[in-house]
Chain A
Amino acid sequence: MPAPASVGMERLCRNEDRGAIVQILFNGLCNGALIALLAMAFVVVYLPTKVFYIALAGIYVLAAYLTKQLMAWGLPWPVAVVGALAAGIGVSLLCDLLNHRPLERKRSSMGAHMISSLGSYMILVQVVALVWGNDPQVLKTGIGGVLRAGGLVMAHSQIAALLVSLLLVAVFFSWLKCSDLGLRFRGLADNPVEMELLGYDTDNLRTLAFGISGFLGSAAGILNAYDLGFDPNIGMSAVMLAIVATIIGGRGTFIGPVIGGLLLGIVRSQVVWHASARWQDAITFFILAVFLLCRPNGIVGGERRLEANE
């Protein structure tokens, strides 16, 4: 699963002698921002519900295809984006309603939820492949504009990815900290049984989690599609990167995955620069292995607990 556009990125970078370090850092930051956004979408469901939301990969891809389709039907791009985001939220809510609510009622295990989500992912991706085919697509026509500042080359799509991601992250966190609903959401992530005992409608809070996740995941999918292009199968690798970012950053908090995502993006760009794009994934999962063994609670999570007892 090499990323095709990284080769272009390589060429772009090697042509700049001075400021190459800054360029690589910038590229890494932009890639990292997208990983962080998707990681946040993943953890928004994982923390309160402990569900491994693999179907997010399907929503990630669906949003890109819908945006392109809506634009092909003549809608201006802001409308198309809003339409795709709405659809992403809708599909996510459906997943909650059909997959996870009934399993939660039966108090099923994490494995059951994950397998169910896997099934939904398979359905979503095949639907996309059936309707739109398997060929790679792009959202932007041509190479797209760039902004130059000093020696730094910034593609418009990169800037969009960075700014929008950071904006969404900031909005989400201020909502978490400052609003009543955000507090209840944090409560659900912290102690779901107690939330039930206190009379909060936890079913609705969980649905809210899926809705937010659908929104963030669709946004990440559209931004990525705008920057690098898409095909029906990119969702799985994107979500895997998001999961790695979540573990590296710390899966017990909302901020951990964001930090993990940014770091991962920077590291991966360094690998592309110093070695080659082929080794990105191997290095990524090597880092994952190291963290799983030595610091499973991630950067933010603190020291490893002694003895995992029942």
Chain B
Amino acid sequence: MQTNDREVVLEAEGLAKSFGGNAVLTDVNFKLHRGEVVLLQGANGSGKTTLLNILTGNLKPDGGTMRKSATLGRTWQDVRLFASQTLSDNIATATPKQPGENPLKALFLAWKARREERRNAAEVADILAKMGLADRSAVFGSNAKIAEAKFVAMVRAIRVGAKVLFLDEPLAGLDHAETETVLTTLRALVKKYGLTLVVIEHALNIPKILQIATTVWTLKDGKLSVGTADTADEAAGGELRTWLKSLAAGGALIETGLPGGAHLTIATRQADAQPVLAVTNYKVNRGARPVIAEPISFALKEGDIAILEAPNGWGKSTLLESIAGLVPAVAGKVELQGEDVTALPVWKRARKGLRLNRAAGTLFTQATVQENARLNHVTEPILPALSSRKAGSLSGGESRRLSFEAVLNNPEAKILMLDEPFQALDITESARVRRSLSNSQKTILVTVPRGRYI
């Protein structure tokens, strides 16, 4: 792909941002040239979304400057179409400088405003037709399918007149065919409108974006460097698999592929174990948006340790939250120890021994560490050195440690679901987590993102 190193459309110097003492970005510098397609990569928590929010004006940086010479547009990870508007209205709203947007003109120059609006609608209809969505133009945003929603979101951003587009995980949640369509469309849009793209994507989808990318930016330790792409490291996945194998009675693992590119690996530790958690033909939506669209089934026996690896955007957190009862299922059932709990509220499922440890927000920040342990029914002291500190004042690492120890040592928790417990941990801490899990006799389900973990 040609890189037109002509003008600089966006540049930044020394951008920095911290959240509550945690420095996410320390010194970000870059020059973005017209026509580039940039892949912005970095580990979870490296600050990609923060940088995106700063560049698009949603967040103020703590320091540094930026300069732009073109209109910026963005798409969102969760798409964010306007639910009450049709697909064509979603795009039509984006058109800048409509006379009908000025209430005085809408009232006193109504003829002119309406004529402009008709012209706008005709152009939008044309755009939708060219994308093959002519028959979907009257569908409401809340009912849009995920792939067409992503198209409309991109076109909406372009319609504003944006020449620089920030795409936040555009390929998340798409299947193979849809991904190909999105990539082809992106290529065509870049050519047609002379766009500059900055794409954030995760490991699994990076090779696909590389088909159209001209440059790669990596965010690490708060700094940005231009370089080559890291492709998904399949070999690293082997480490967790080896560990699981060592735990399995008989050394054999049960491996199941799940729709959407996910993989479930189960190690059975107890002989003659009984099933304790069974999920059958399960589908989940977030509001009107399908997350787990194809039915999923799996079962865990007592003492099993299982790893669910899936790409970002697949719906790992949503699935776990739904099994716990926070998000209602569209179809299927959940059984705990043979009993159907699908209709039970969250706390009743928890009383039967099911425990979800979410990826974030699990602590009681106003209570002390000791009180957090008490609320988790844990009697032995956790992190005794910090026992009277308020949980909200702990560092990120200490918080995760507290959360993990609390759920592991909770005597009432028999079936644990841990959402990304290895996230942002270094080698020593990961090993410690693995050791604690091995030592625990409970039934454990762990999620990890596909392709990037230690």
A residues near B, CB below 8 A?
A: 180, 183-184, 186-187, 189-191, 193-202, 253, 306-307, 309
- State the Cβ distance, B337 to closest chain A Cβ, in Å: 15
Residues of A contacting B324 in the complex (Cβ-Cβ under 8 angstroms)? 197
What are 29 A-B contacts defined by CB distance under 8 Å?
Answer: A180-B374, A183-B367, A183-B371, A183-B374, A184-B375, A186-B364, A186-B371, A187-B364, A187-B375, A191-B363, A191-B364, A193-B361, A194-B362, A194-B363, A196-B325, A196-B346, A196-B347, A196-B350, A197-B326, A197-B347, A197-B350, A197-B355, A197-B356, A198-B350, A198-B377, A202-B347, A307-B58, A307-B60, A309-B59
Instruction: Give the CA-CA distance A191 to B58 in the complex, in Å.
Output: 27
Bound state CA distance, A306 and B19, in angstroms? 10
B53: interface (CB < 8 Å): yes
User: Which residues of chain A have C-beta atoms less than 8 A from B367's C-beta?
Assistant: 183, 186-187, 190
Of residues 283 through 297 on chain B, the ones whose CB sits less than 8 Å from some CB of chain A are none
Which residues in A have their C-beta under 8 angstroms from that of B225?
Answer: none
Nearest B-chain residue to A201, judged by Cβ: B347
A306 B60 Cβ-Cβ under 8 A: yes
Which residues in B have their C-beta under 8 angstroms from that of A200?
Answer: 347
State the interface size on chain B (CB cutoff 8 A): 29
Determine whether B376 belongs to the interface, using a CB cutoff of 8 Å to chain A. yes
Which secondary structure characterizes the binding site on chain B?
A: loop
Binding site for A on B (CB under 8 A): 53, 58-60, 324-326, 345-347, 350-351, 355-356, 358, 361-367, 371, 374-377, 410, 412
For B371, list chain A residues within 8 Å (CB).
183, 186
Q: Is the CB of B365 within 8 A of A199?
A: no
Closest beta carbon of chain B to A269's beta carbon, Å? 32
Provide the bound-state CA to CA distance between A194 and B412, in Å. 15
A191 touches B365 (CB 8 A): yes
Provide the residues of chain B in CB contact with A190, threshold 8 Å. Answer: 364-367
Q: A201 contacts which chain B residues (CB < 8 A)?
A: 347
Interface pair A194/B364, CB less than 8 Å apart? yes
Taking CB as reference atom, which chain A residue is nearest B362? A194
In the complex, what residues of A have CB within 8 A of residue B361's CB?
Answer: 191, 193-194
The answer for the CA separation of A295 and B363 in the assembled complex, in Å, is 26
B376 partner residues in chain A, CB cutoff 8 A = 198
**Residues in B neighbouring A194, C-beta threshold 8 A:** 361-364
Give B355 Cβ to nearest chain A Cβ, in Å: 7
For B80, the closest partner residue in chain A by CB is: A310
**Complex Cα spacing A180 to B375, Å:** 9
Nearest 3 Cβ contacts at the A-B interface: A199-B350, A196-B346, A190-B364
* Chain B residues within an 8 Å CB radius of A187: 364, 367, 375
Nearest-Cβ distance from residue A152 to partner chain B, whole angstroms: 39
